[in-house]
């Protein structure tokens, strides 16, 4: 959820009880990144994408 942290910042609402399993997992992953600086999250996201592209080749 690095992209979400970069694009929207910290999770700004509490987890909703009626969320599906996938939505619940995504929200928790995003909330775990709380207080991560935008520049740090951007760097981590770029590194992750580069590693995924390297595996694909």
Q: Would you kindly state where each structural domain of the chain is located, as residue ranges?
A: 2-56
Residue 56: per-residue pLDDT: 67
Provide the 8-state DSSP code for 36: -
CB 29 within 8 A of CB 54: no
Residue 14: per-residue pLDDT: 66
| C-alpha–C-alpha distance, residues 54 and 3, integer Å | 19
Residue 1: per-residue pLDDT: 63
**Across the 57 residues of the chain, what is the mean pLDDT of every consecutive 10-residue run?**
70 67 81 84 89 83
| C-alpha–C-alpha distance, residues 37 and 9, integer Å | 8
Structure tokens at 56: 């694909």
Residue 50: per-residue pLDDT: 93
Which SS3 state, helix, strand or coil, does residue 11 take? coil
Q: Is the pTM of this model over 0.75?
A: no
């Amino acid at each position: 959820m690095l992209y979400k942290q970069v694009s929207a910042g910290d999770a700004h609402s509490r987890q909703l009880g009626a969320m599906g399993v996938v939505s619940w997992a995504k929200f928790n992953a995003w909330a775990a990144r709380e207080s991560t600086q935008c520049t740090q999250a951007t760097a981590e996201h770029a590194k992750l994408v580069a590693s995924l592209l390297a595996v694909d080749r």
